[in-house]
Amino acid sequence: MPPTAPPTASHPAGVAGHRAAWNTVMAGFLPALPDLEQAIMTTAERLTGPPARILDLGGGPGLLAERLATRWPSARVTLADLDPVLLALAAATVPPSVTVVEADLTDPSWPTRTGTGYHLVTAVMTVHYLDPAAIRCLYAAIRRILHPGGLLVVADVMPDDGLPAMMRALATPADPSGDSWSQWWAVLAAVPEFGDLLRRRAEIFRDRPPAEFTPAVSWHAAAARAAGFTEAGALWRHGRHAALAAR
C-alpha cells in the first residue's frame, strides 16, 4: 500500500514547516548539501543526459526527490523509504511526477517495489544504517535495476584518512546536530495526528539499530565494482562526508 499522508496534510503550511525543519537538520548532518545536490545533477547530465527515471533511496520526506523533479520536469521520480512518518510527509507534498513507495533496503525483494530501468539512483545519508553485507547486496541490486549507462550516487560519512587533520576540523561542524535531530522528532511527537505513524515507526525500528558503518570511499568503490559497476570513485567531498559515483 502507498504511504498515507497524516491528517496534518490538510494544513500544507504545517507539513511544509516540518519538511523545512528537516532540511535544516540534514544540512547540519551533511555540510554543503546544496553543493552535493548540484554535483549530482551536473554529473548526471554530463554522463547520461537529463535522466528520464530517477530513484531516491532513503529519500525521507522527499526534499531531494522534489528538487530532482524540479530540475528535470519530464522525469519520473520514485522515492523509497521505510520510515512511515517521513513517507507520509513526502506523500503529502511531493509533485505528481514523484511516486512514494515503502521499501526495506535490507529485504532483497525491495526492487519489486520500485521497478527497474533507472537512469539515476541516489542514496544520501542512507547507507550508514546498513552493515557491510547489506551494503554489498544493495549495490548489487541497484546495478540490476539501473538502465545501461545509468549512474549511482551514494553520499554519506566516508572519512578520508589522507585528509590533513586541520582540514577535517575546519570542514566538519563542531555540533553534529544530534540535538536538532531529537528536537525535530519531539516537535512531531507533540502533534496528535502523528501518533499512529510514530507508534508504527517505533515498532519498525525497535530491533533495527543503525549499523553506523562508515568506511572510506575506497571501500564503497570496491564494493560497487564487486557488484558489477565498471567505474566507481569519489564525486564530491566535504570534510568527513563524501559521495561515491558509480556506473
Inside any domain, residue 74:
yes
Domain around 130: 7-246
Q: Which residues are CB-neighbours of 227 under 8 A, at least 6 positions away?
A: 136, 139, 140, 142, 143
pTM (global) more than 0.85: yes
Least Cα distance to 161 among 214, 232, 231, 224 occurs for 214
Residue 175 has pLDDT above 80, yes or no: no
Instruction: Write out pLDDT tens, residues 148-160.
Output: 999 999 999 998 7
Which backbone phi and psi does 178 adopt, to 5 degrees? Answer: -60, -40
Inside any domain, residue 229:
yes
Number of domains in the chain: 1
Instruction: Write out pLDDT tens, residues 20-51.
Output: 999 999 888 887 999 999 999 999 999 989 99
Instruction: Write out pLDDT tens, residues 65-118.
Output: 999 999 999 999 999 999 999 999 999 999 999 999 999 999 999 999 999 999
For the domain that residue 235 is a member of, what is the CATH number?
A: 3.40.50.150
Least Cα distance to 111 among 101, 119, 99 occurs for 101
Instruction: Write out pLDDT tens, residues 185-232.
Output: 999 999 999 999 999 999 999 999 999 999 999 999 999 999 999 999
Inside any domain, residue 30:
yes
